[in-house]
Amino acid sequence: MLKTYSTKASEIERKWHLIDASDKVLGRLATEASALLLGKHKPTFTRNLDTGDYVVVINAEKIRVTGNKGKQKLYYRHSGYPGGLKSASLDEVMQKDPTKVIEHAVKGMLPHNRLGDQMFKKLKVYVGEAHPHASQTGTVAVESTKKEENG
């Protein structure tokens, strides 16, 4: 008789993944990072538990977007007061703080509940190559899954 395996919180092992954002498309990078944060790459993935790993994204300022998204994509925030809606284009946000763009994209791909908040805390985004997590044990560099075709 086969039994269904259920992951327990004490059995979850976490690794550290390093993603270099240089010349990667924003959405594809966010998809890759969110899958690692969710734990979808593990055979022990359980939807109701945080089985994901830690993700460190470096070179946040070097991401790219397709088309005219730099000028057309808008980020909104509201102060809570009447007439307090503010908007900024992707280019403006990238100049001010490039980490916010990646964090916003990844957060939108995670569950919108307490479990998603817990997963989001394991995302670390940095401008440039330097990051304070270099000494973490088991850091794995994530390479792009797209293979180059020789033609």
Q: Are 58 and 129 in contact (CB under 8 A)?
A: yes
Mean pLDDT throughout 7-25?
93
DSSP letters, 1-25, are --------GGG----EEEEE-TT-B
Percent helix, strand and coil across the chain, each to the nearest 5 = 30, 20, 50
Q: Which residue has the tokens 């993935």?
A: 45
User: What pLDDT, on the 0 to 100 scale, is given for residue 136?
Assistant: 73
pTM of this structure: 0.85
62-105 tens-digit pLDDT: 999 999 999 999 999 999 999 999 999 999 999 999 999 999 99
How far is Cα 43 from Cα 114, in angstroms, rounded to an integer?
23
SS3 85: strand
Given a contact cutoff of 8 angstroms between Cβ atoms, the answer to whether 26 and 105 are in contact is yes
Cα separations in angstroms, 6 against 46, 51, 72: 8, 12, 45
User: What is the pairing mode between strands 85-89 and 74-78?
Assistant: antiparallel
Domain range 15-66+98-142, its CATH number among 3.50.50.60, 1.20.1630.10, 3.90.1180.10, 3.40.50.1370? 3.90.1180.10
